[in-house]
Amino acid sequence: MPWIDLNRSIRRTLLIVLLPAAIALMGAAWVIHGALLERMARSFVEDRLREEVGFLKHRINQADGSIEALSTGDYFEEVFHHAFAVRVGSRQYVSLGPWKSLLGPLLEESSTGFIRQTESAGEISDYLAYRETFEVGGREAVIVVAEDLSRIDTSQRELHIWTAVVSAVLLGLLVLVIWMGIRLSLASVTTLQTALKELQQGERERLDIETPAEFQQLVRQLNQLLETLDQRLIRSREALANLSHSIKTPITAVRQVLEEREQHLDWDMRRQLAQRLSDIDGQLETEMRRSRFAGAQAGKGAAPVSQARELIWMLGQLYPDKAFELETDLSDERRWPIEEYDLNEVLGNILDNAGKWAVSSVVLSLKEDETGLVIEVSDDGPGIAPKEFPTLGTRGQRLDEQASGHGLGLAIVRDVVLRYDGWVTFDASDTGGLRVRVVLPERVSL
């Protein structure tokens, strides 16, 4: 329906759809009521006319064709409240004077059954008659019973008008109920708008509000996004602080030497300055390498196989003397419900850590089993003592990233995985080094 703009207003869309639908349905119900009322009235009249013809037929048969008893008194008029005409042989009788001119000709017709006439005879303008022919005492007998439909139509119209009035009142109440229902249903949207405004103004940090089931997934995703942004901001600040602290002392020392006019730069001094500058270059390269691991965010899903291949190729360039292998049965099109940025950080930090410690090879395994989505990285390095497994990857046990070690990178991995309700375990690999196992639930609450 092009005349409905679904992106403009939910309230307006519901009103445009529900109000005409309610009016149309109420109008259809009123029309159907009129048709059913007319049909019921017609059926009721037809049944009564048949019964009265049957009664008159029984009386004539009992009187052996005599109709004198029918013309005496007003018994039949009081009982039937209908006009009737009877003809047996050459004798006939028509009750109620105004009907004589209408029912008399029907006695001479040959048709049998119901006859609808709209002739005018005084106050009678529309009537329904039932005619039946039979034999009694060897003579032909005809009975015609008629009902004035104008009175029934008047009563029927009055009832139909009252039905319209009641329907209009009910329609008004229905419109009010629809309006109240829309306002109550969209109250949660107003609450969410208020919370988002407070979030924008810095009055709250998370969307900790009660919402209907339809909005709970949206609130979870927004809170997940806020948590992700906060974690990235914290990691960026920590990385900058670490980098600043690490290179501040070497730069100061180099500057002091260069600013000393009387200081003679012999070969040993030049070598020390070069070493200091190499340390600074190494630290900058470490931070740049970590930034390259984090690819661009591309929605709420990632292709683990293709990303793993890209990272393995990159790390192969950084560690050319070590072999990186990928073991998986997953297809390249298989996607996992994790942000591409976060998956790159998890894979990049684990593989980089394994590359530092490995002697000759690193094996990355991607699979899906009954526990969930599994990432395993094993190296053939010296490994660590089993007693250190429980505390490995804890941020408080951070080592300088410039030195080889299982330090801040694994702590970042643990933080990312915990946000997805997953877990990280450490044990010894089959080749004697460290094996890092990351498990993510198959249905991640983003």
**pLDDT at position 85 over 90:** no
Query: How does residue 436 score in pLDDT terms, banded at 50, 70 and 90?
Result: very high
State the pLDDT at residue 300: 55
pLDDT at res. 295: 43
The reported pLDDT for the residue numbered 264 is 67
Lowest mean pLDDT among 254-263, 413-422, 426-435: 254-263
Q: Which residue has the tokens 């139509």?
A: 153
How high is the pLDDT of residue 119?
61
- State yes or no: pLDDT of 375 exceeds 70: yes
Tokens of 114: 């119901």
Is residue 246's pLDDT more than 70? no
* Average confidence score pLDDT of the chain: 78
What are the tens digits of pLDDT across the range 12-21?
777 788 888 8
pLDDT of residue 298: 39
Q: What pLDDT shows up at residue 365?
A: 95
Residues in the chain, overall count? 446
CA distances from 408 to 176, 235, 259, 296, 422 (A): 61, 10, 36, 22, 19
pLDDT at 407 (0 to 100): 54
Q: What is the pLDDT of residue 155?
A: 79
pLDDT, tens digit, for every residue of 337-358?
A: 887 878 888 898 899 889 888 9
Q: What is the mean pLDDT of residues 62-91?
A: 69
Mean pLDDT check: name the lowest of 17-31, 53-67, 87-101, 363-377: 87-101
pLDDT at 101 over 80: no
Instruction: Assign 3-state DSSP to the chain and report helix, strand, coil percentages, each to 5.
Output: 55, 15, 25
Query: Which pLDDT score, from 0 to 100, does residue 330 have?
Result: 92
**364 or 159, which is more confident:** 364
Report the 10 Å Cβ neighbour count for 127.
22
Q: Which amino acid is at 75?
A: Y
Among residues of the chain, what percentage have pLDDT more than 70? 76
CATH 3.30.450 fits 10-154, yes or no: yes
- pLDDT of 395 reads 54
Predicted confidence (pLDDT) per residue in 184-212, tens digit? 877 777 788 888 888 777 777 788 777 77
| pLDDT score for 5 | 54
Q: Of all helices (H) and strands (E), which one includes residue 436?
A: strand 434-440
pLDDT value of residue 192: 80
Give the rounded percent of residues in the chain with a pLDDT score beyond 90.
11
Phi/psi class of residue 411: alpha, beta or left (left: φ > 0; alpha: ψ in -120 to 50)? Answer: alpha
**Could you tell me where in the chain the CATH 3.30.565.10 domains are found?**
294-446
Numbered ranges of CATH 3.30.450 in the chain: 10-154
More confident residue, 446 or 13: 13
The rounded distance, in Å, linking the Cα atoms of 259 and 261 is 6
Does the pLDDT value for residue 441 go beyond 80? yes
Q: Which CATH superfamily, name and number, covers 294-446?
A: Histidine kinase-like ATPase, C-terminal domain (3.30.565.10)
User: In this model, does residue 73 exceed pLDDT 60?
Assistant: no
Q: What is the mean pLDDT of residues 299-322?
A: 84
Residue 92 is given by DSSP the state E
Secondary structure string (H, E, C) spanning 9-63: CHHHHHHHHHHHHHHHHHHHHHHHHHHHHHHHHHHHHHHHHHHHHHHHHHHHHHC
pLDDT above 70: residue 428: yes
Give the residue with greater pLDDT, 146 vs 271. 146
